[in-house]
Amino acid sequence: MSRLSNLAESLVGSEIVKLGNEINNRIRNGEKIYNYTIGDFNPAVFPIPTVLKEQIIKAYNDGYTNYPPADGILPLRAAVSQFLNTYEGISYENDEIQISSGGRPLIYSLFKAVVNPGDKVIYAVPSWNNNHYTSLNGGIPCEIQTTAENNFMPTVAEIAPHLPGAALLCLCTPQNPTGTTLSKETLEQICDLVLAENQRRGPEEKKLYVLFDQMYFTLTYRDTKHYHPVALRPEMKAYTISVDGISKSFAATGVRVGWGFGPANVIAKMKALMSHMGAWAPMAEQVATAAFLKEEAAVNTYLTDLKGKLEQRLWRIYEGIDQLKQKGYVVEAIVPQAAIYLTLKFDLKGKSYQGKLLNTQADVTQFLLGAVGLALVPFNCFGADADSPWYRISVGTCQLEDLDVIFDSLEKALAQLS
């Protein structure tokens, strides 16, 4: 076979998709698997807002089927601007907002706009897909290995030494895969570091930009609060490009409406790139999302209900794992703060199940699949070491009543380990 581009030849497929294929094969072969690997929602459990659905249908009936403008229709950018102001207290003009088909094209075009091949890109590990976007753009990864003690979020001290010479710092809060967040103090200190670094750079030097991924920002629980760099330090507006959308906040992953916001000069380049990629959100979905976001009461009612259901599941799992830990099993969970994820530890390497040694962490993953029917994503799929005992569980497809059954079989399986 003939060789393709260096990029094509070096592409690494998604580890989660590989795992998902294996799980689907097992389900096809008749195994009962609780598949909590995907960062998605089961629409039967978590449907999109009714108003949004009705507005999408109406928009098609009204004939909104032509090309949208490359940066998104004006009423949607205006609605996003209002939404950001209401929920985060930040102000963005229409030319500082870019609409796209979900969050991914925004991340891709932002990388293209600020990262040259060979530029340093800083991101925490584990984290979602920063490794792929960095390699797609020829960036040099600068990975911060985070720890359980810090809820797997990067600390100021871990970030600081890497900023000189870096093109992009990727922050994600609430974070996929951990379901944890950056505190106000930490984010403030990171902003101060970025501002100081940019002040130090000469007028001809490329600035350090921040990718601020807040795809899950509305989904925070109990006393956890979300903070935006620009709300904390207004000077950060010149360097922060945020990624957001309806995918997670409104359980609308398949509707494909996202928005990026940042300084007008960067957004203009992202728009130019987007016009070649054609990765716009469909016209009718843009019209519908604009109408939905303006219905503040419907937005609030929906968010309260969605958050209530997600929080219930996350805490049920957290408490279930904690009870097993109290009973002496080597399992652990990080207190859930946000998003649809929870971080679990199954430190079972070296134990035996039905006479078979769990030699590697991959064996532990298979044990959870085979003995409990529990499918989770090991942190190594997000860039952590292959022998990391930590996992992401996603509750977007979780039926509450299944959890009793799962915890029952998990305890039985754990009890059989020797």
Number of residues that bind ligand PLP (CB under 6 A): 14
For residue 393, list its beta bridge partners. 342
285 in contact with ligand PLP (CB under 6 A): no
- In sequence order, the 6+-apart residues with CB closer than 8 A to the CB of 198 are 207, 208, 238, 239
Measured in degrees and rounded to the nearest 5, phi and psi for residue 23 equal -65, -45
Q: Which is nearer to ligand PLP, 243 or 314 (CB)?
A: 243
213 in contact with ligand PLP (CB under 6 A): yes
Q: Cβ 370 to ligand PLP, closest distance in Å?
A: 27
Instruction: Decide if 230 contacts 214 (C-beta within 8 A).
Output: no
**What H or E segment, with its residue span, contains residue 285?**
helix 283-294
46 in contact with ligand PLP (CB under 6 A): no
- In sequence order, the 6+-apart residues with CB closer than 8 A to the CB of 136 are 7, 108, 111
Measured in degrees and rounded to the nearest 5, phi and psi for residue 352 equal -120, 140
Instruction: Decide if 216 contacts 249 (C-beta within 8 A).
Output: yes
351 in contact with ligand PLP (CB under 6 A): no
Among 146, 247, 365, 397, binds ligand PLP (CB under 6 A): 247
Q: Cβ 203 to ligand PLP, closest distance in Å?
A: 33
258 in contact with ligand PLP (CB under 6 A): yes
104 in contact with ligand PLP (CB under 6 A): yes
Q: Cβ 176 to ligand PLP, closest distance in Å?
A: 4
Closest CA relative to residue 64, chosen from 243, 355, 281, 324: 281
Amino acid at 268: A
Q: Which is nearer to ligand PLP, 104 or 162 (CB)?
A: 104
- Quick one: DSSP state of residue 388? -
Residue with tokens 């609605």: 79
Q: Which is nearer to ligand PLP, 172 or 393 (CB)?
A: 172
Q: Which is nearer to ligand PLP, 176 or 361 (CB)?
A: 176
Select the span of 3-11, 27-35, 97-105, 188-196 touching ligand PLP (CB under 6 A). 97-105
From residue 351, give the alpha-carbon distance in Å to each of 317, 328, 379: 23, 14, 20
**Closest chain position to ligand PLP (CB):** 102
Q: How far apart are CA 202 and CA 141, in angstroms?
A: 24
Q: Cβ 25 to ligand PLP, closest distance in Å?
A: 23
Among 84, 136, 166, 172, binds ligand PLP (CB under 6 A): 172
Select the span of 145-153, 198-206, 245-253, 296-304 touching ligand PLP (CB under 6 A). 245-253
Scan residues 105-164 and list those touching ligand PLP (CB under 6 A): 128
Select the span of 99-107, 261-269, 318-326, 390-398 touching ligand PLP (CB under 6 A). 99-107
Scan residues 5-44 and list those touching ligand PLP (CB under 6 A): 39
* Per-residue buried b or exposed e for 89-98, using 16+ beta carbons within 10 Å of the residue's own CB: ebebeeebbb
215 in contact with ligand PLP (CB under 6 A): yes
391 in contact with ligand PLP (CB under 6 A): no
Q: Cβ 136 to ligand PLP, closest distance in Å?
A: 14
Select the span of 78-86, 149-157, 239-247, 385-393 touching ligand PLP (CB under 6 A). 239-247
Instruction: Decide if 217 contacts 175 (C-beta within 8 A).
Output: no
245 in contact with ligand PLP (CB under 6 A): yes
342 in contact with ligand PLP (CB under 6 A): no
343 in contact with ligand PLP (CB under 6 A): no
Instruction: Decide if 279 contacts 101 (C-beta within 8 A).
Output: yes
Closest CA relative to residue 139, chosen from 153, 155, 154, 119: 119
Q: Cβ 110 to ligand PLP, closest distance in Å?
A: 11
Q: How is 286-316 classified by DSSP, letter by letter?
A: HHHHHHHHH-HHHHHHHHHHHHHHHHHHHHH
Name the CA radius of gyration of the chain, rounded.
Answer: 22
For binding to ligand PLP (CB under 6 A), which residues are involved?
39, 102-104, 128, 172, 176, 213, 215, 243, 245, 247, 253, 258
